[in-house]
Amino acid sequence: MIETFRAELPHGITLSCRAAGRPGAPLLLFLHGFPEAAFVWDDLLEHFAGRYRCVAPNLRGFADSSSPAEAEAYRPKHLIADIDALIEQQGGGHAAALIAHDWGGAVAWSYAVQHATRLDHLVIVNSPHPAMFLRELRDNPAQQAASAYMNFLCRPDAEARLAADDYARLWPMFEGMGAADPAHPGGGWLDDAARERYREVWRAGLTGGCNYYRATPLKPPLTPDAPIMKLAFAPEQVTVALPTLVVWAEADLALPTSLLDGLEAYVPRMHLVRVPQATHWIVHERPQWLAAQIEAELARREL
């Protein structure tokens, strides 16, 4: 059974959370992306609840979690502080695994570098490693085109444009990858009930979600002097020493498989699982399959 609670963090941020499993059991923490919310993990929370304490927060800026108005509040150091405080509160400073998708994965990659001793495992689902994303955004025209939407989401009127006409610009993010088509592998999940759950999340406000894009320099360059052109990562800033499962749905239109090229140099203990035909929304499309992959990885690393 899914429960909800509000995690009041010591630095003044409140994260609304969904959870399952016994408090005090080893912690699994699940991080969602944009334009989603914690509810996308419900099937996995219930799957792992018999053995783990499973917690999925609405990240800052989403649903009824704290949503600072300024974009600066969504820089990585602040997002990482939220997750660190939540792990301290819910897991006594330790988590068996951090499991993350999309923007949640962006936070998780950095958290795993900076706080490796607080985690046993990292699980990434279609979220590019920062060094790979920097390379592709800077040098690969195909990635620049696939990520062009990021600059749209930085516009000052992005929230209003996304909300207009019953979120007419948001639904295609799902539908364009077959989410509403039962004939598409994994499709058909975007039914009326799912749409209403998304509307409920989006009605709470879209500024926080857009601020993730406004705060990051990792977006396609619009000018030769764009911040990304001057950005560089030292290996120690982006190397993940933890056992890491990377699940990559290969029909992701925004995140081509070229983002995997060379990834092992930064994630030496990586186990990579490629999923042909699955899309960016694989958490919706194949929740039980994804749960089995996570089960297998945790068992493999525990030997």
Q: Which CATH class is domain 3-302?
A: alpha beta
* 155 touches 161 (CB < 8 A): yes
What is the rounded distance in angstroms from the CA atom of residue 281 to the CA atom of residue 235? 30
What's the angle, vertex CA 100, arms to CA 156 and CA 298, rounded to 5? 175
What is the rounded distance in angstroms from the CA atom of residue 245 to the CA atom of residue 275? 13
The pLDDT, as a whole number, for residue 183 is 86
What's the angle, vertex CA 173, arms to CA 72 and CA 264, rounded to 5? 70
What's the angle, vertex CA 13, arms to CA 56 and CA 150, rounded to 5? 70
The pLDDT, as a whole number, for residue 300 is 79
What is the rounded distance in angstroms from the CA atom of residue 140 to the CA atom of residue 220? 10
Q: What is the pTM of this model?
A: 0.97
The pLDDT, as a whole number, for residue 185 is 87
Give me the residues of the chain with pLDDT under 50, please: 303
Number of residues that this document lists for the chain: 303
The pLDDT, as a whole number, for residue 273 is 98
* 49 touches 20 (CB < 8 A): yes
What is the rounded distance in angstroms from the CA atom of residue 34 to the CA atom of residue 62? 9
Residue 167 burial (CB count, 10 A): 18
* 220 touches 144 (CB < 8 A): yes
Q: Where are the domains of the chain?
A: 3-302
The pLDDT, as a whole number, for residue 301 is 58
The pLDDT, as a whole number, for residue 303 is 41
Tokens of 169: 């610009």
What is the rounded distance in angstroms from the CA atom of residue 156 to the CA atom of residue 43? 35
